[in-house]
Structure 1
Amino acid sequence: VRTRHGVGDGSDLGRIQLQQTFIKALIHRAKSIGVVSNPARAYALADTATKTVSADSNLASADKLLGLAKDLKHISPDHMNMLTLPVRYDTHDTGRVLPLTQASHQVWQALRHDHPIPKSATDNSVAARTDSPVTTDT
């Protein structure tokens, strides 16, 4: 999920979409095998994850990760919308993208206030061309 070369347009956008797909598939799989509803399984997975994945310090312990899982357990991947911050290609390096400042501000404001993301915030983003619904039927 960290590769970007040979995926999509070769920029960070392909890598981001791979990561979004992975997260949805991981959540779908965890729910389908009952990890969330089985405390022993959930703890074992969280413990392994904190030892094998570099995580934000706020999620670096199994207990914190389990708390997040508990908060999110009623959210289905089918009801998740993935969004990439509104961006444009860097004119000096087309493999890089740069945030669209005003549109990004709209996205963060909506998230802070628990409002829907305005469609106008993503209309001019090159990321909007690559964001797509992801199926997790694998």
Structure 2
Amino acid sequence: MASGGELSRIGLALSTVSAAALAAGTLVFDEVDAGIGGGVAEVVGRLLQELGTQRQVLCVTHLAQVAACARQQFRVAKAVREGVTTSHVEALSADQRVDELARMIGGMQITDTTRAHARELLATLAPGSHLQAPAGS
């Protein structure tokens, strides 16, 4: 049986191949990056980015390489207060986005090094960045 992440990746592959034929205006991927990292995460991010040129794509991710490929990034925070769970969704500004990517890279402690890495990811992976997708992606 396939895991949720595997099913999401299969869905991403099928959506990418058949995007022109899809009637759905919005595609949602929940943790499409589960169980992957590094270069594979970058390829998945680039595929989502390309798919986003044809459809609205919403993707829940925990990997900075995938998040950096987004045109717009949101942070979702969950809290439990008096037994009630709530979620808060916040659109991130450019500076907040750097800090959030830095947190995704380095954990709760954001440093100058993790911020620099986050800026580098955005410079190379964000839509309109000057670098092209890796060969074979």
Range class of TM-score, shorter chain: under 0.3
| Structure that is richer in helix per residue | 1
Q: RCO higher in 1 or 2 (8 Å CA, sep ≥ 6)?
A: 1
Q: TM-score, normalised by structure 1?
A: 0.27
* Structure whose residues are more often strand by fraction: 2
Larger gyration radius, structure 1 or structure 2: 1
